[in-house]
A and B are shown apart, each in its own frame.
Chain A
Amino acid sequence: MTEDIINMRGWVRTAMDFVSENTIGMSRHWEYTDSVAWFLTEFMMCVMVFGGIMTTLLVLLWMERKLLGRFMDRRGARTSLRSLWVGENGVTAGEWWTQLPFGTGIPIGMLNKALNEIAGNDHKLEAVSRVKNRSYHGVWWLLPGFFQNLADGMKFLTKEHMVPEKADRYVFEIAPFLIIATTVMCFTFIPLGPNFHSNNSEMSILFLMAVFSVAPLGVFFAGWSSNNKYTLLGGIRSAAQLTAYEIPLLVTVLSVVVLSGSFNLIEVIEFQVDSGVWNIFLLPLGAVLFIVVMVAEVERIPFDMPEAEAELVEGWWTEYGGMRWGLMFASEYLRTYAACLLFAHFFLGGWEAPFEDTIPFIHYIPHITWVFLKAWFIFIFFVWFRAALHRVRTDQILEFGWRWLLPLSLVNLAMATVLRLWVYDGVKEEWPILVPILITSISLALFVLLSIDEDPKALEAQTRPFSVQTVDVASPGQHRK
């Protein structure tokens, strides 16, 4: 096992042993002391993993808001971050650097002043500036917009719970439970650190995938029971898409399992730590497939047909409101979070720090940091897809899934099998150094070759598929001919 300075499970076990020995151990049922301590440990670990995931979910929502504002060039979202540094329209989030201790903020203030002078920002009307700067609350260290999600949650909690008159009431009430409960259960099987996991069963990947695949049923029933044709369409689309993408997902996961030789998620990570190479350098195709399939599985934008706002009002959750809607929204993000964490564990080495063997003292950083950093890094890609791509038609989604992703995932599985059987020498316990370099460079070359898809004839003809008009600035005495 990887050495970690946070031995959370050990600490909790010690504390629970103490508690158990002083209550049950003193009574006449002392033979149950160990069992009770074990139960309390497992319970505490479950609670801690749940709490960790739920609090760091705020980071995900915040990242989505800010990054999407950045990618889509929307002003409000950008102002809040930039205003910390140099004011937009001459507005800053107050002179926050004066609050730093021991005058450490003085250089920041000087830099800010200089930058503002260079950029020509001024601060003429304070009220106007404050309205324009949406992050101005006087408290700069609260990360502008970070606690918006808590306010949203409060709003959902205070809203009324309504069931449509003609809905199937029982199914309508049960479906959110099916979705939310199975989504939260996914995190039972995802470790957050070497000693920070709630469950370490032999078959954790299989269980994880099994639990992950129950949510479509809940989605389908939610769509059906609302008794609304748009929700029914959304539910059917969701079910079709999720079953179609389940197979490539499972085959891709299977390739990772074949490569590392275990169905246990912790052992998969330990394999990457021991063998010295992260799986993404051995199975680049698998990593790409995994992220594409996961985008479809969590119904994010290039593949979000089930809740296409333009055609089906809000898809399968149109009729839900209040905290049920809020929790289902949260469960969408939890599924995305699970996808990010799984990518980090399967392909990016889980909790292993980059260059852990070569950089000195890096193992003093708790390993849980790397897990979260990698997951958030992967989430940037999810937001990027959402900002850059447009929605795909349903039949195109299904065709893409069955015709391209399924054969490619089978190819990937074959590659993993070949690597495991004939390349990886189990005796030496380490990959030949040439193999990952060769595979990665070949894949990158293929990627570059395939992404040059410009038609040379069209380039020669210099024709554009759309018309472009350049609007000149109108000035007196000049008009367009």
Chain B
Amino acid sequence: MELPGFLMDPIGDIFGSIEGIAFGIMAIIAIGGALGTVYSKRVAHSMLSLIMCFFAVAGVFLMANAEMLAAIQILVYLGSVMLVFAFGVMLSRRQIMEEDFE
């Protein structure tokens, strides 16, 4: 069975470049997360963006066959460092929804 060319050519392209596409998605998420970290107005939102960025970076490590590095990235940076960040931010100054209370 042979599918027509206008269907098969894109399928072949996707098979050939699936790694590149995945890398592109990861990279865009990482850059978007980093930008979100800088430009978010609320601290919690920038923390969430940083988490997203770390996840994407772990994905990039995974694609480079650096499994150990990816696991450590998630374990150390996401599991511990971000939680300490969260403590620091939330316990030092509680400015959640300031405009709501006005």
Contact = CB atoms under 8 A, between A and B. Distances in A.
B82 A217 contact: yes
B100 A166 contact: yes
Contact of A217 (B12, B15, B42, B78): B78
Contact of A27 (B2, B75, B83, B91): B2
A220 B15 contact: no
A29 B1 CA distance: 12
B64 interface: no
Interface stretch (A103-111, A198-206, A311-319, A422-430): A198-206
B78 A236 contact: no
A168 B75 contact: no
B36 to A, nearest CB: 11
A308 to B, nearest CB: 19
Q: Which of B67, B78, B79 has the most CB of A within 10 A?
A: B79
Interface residues of B, number: 32
Contacts of A217: 51, 78-79, 82-83, 86
Nearest to B96: A227
Contacts, number: 96
Contact of A221 (B48, B75, B79): B48
A203 B67 contact: yes
A224 interface: yes
B44 A27 contact: no
A133 interface: no
Given A27-B2, A225-B44, A239-B83, A32 B71 contact: no
A26 B80 CA distance: 51
A174 interface: yes
Task: Say whether chain A's binding surface is mostly helix, strand, loop, or mixed.
Answer: helix
A23 B1 CA distance: 8
Interface residue SS majority, chain B: helix
A171 interface: yes
B75 A209 contact: yes
Contact of A214 (B67, B70, B78, B84): B78
Given A26-B1, A171-B44, A171-B48, A210 B86 contact: no
A26 B71 contact: no
Interface string A206-232: 110111011011001100110100001
A464 interface: no
Interface in B13-71: 15, 42, 44-45, 48, 51, 67-68, 70-71
Given A207-B70, A214-B78, 19 more contacts: A27-B3, A28-B2, A29-B8, A29-B15, A166-B100, A168-B42, A170-B45, A171-B45, A178-B51, A201-B67, A202-B67, A203-B67, A209-B75, A210-B71, A213-B75, A220-B90, A239-B87, A243-B79, A243-B80
28 contacts: A23-B1, A28-B2, A28-B12, A29-B15, A32-B12, A35-B15, A36-B15, A168-B42, A168-B44, A171-B45, A178-B51, A203-B67, A203-B68, A207-B70, A210-B78, A210-B79, A214-B79, A216-B83, A217-B51, A217-B79, A217-B82, A217-B83, A221-B48, A224-B96, A236-B87, A239-B87, A243-B83, A246-B79
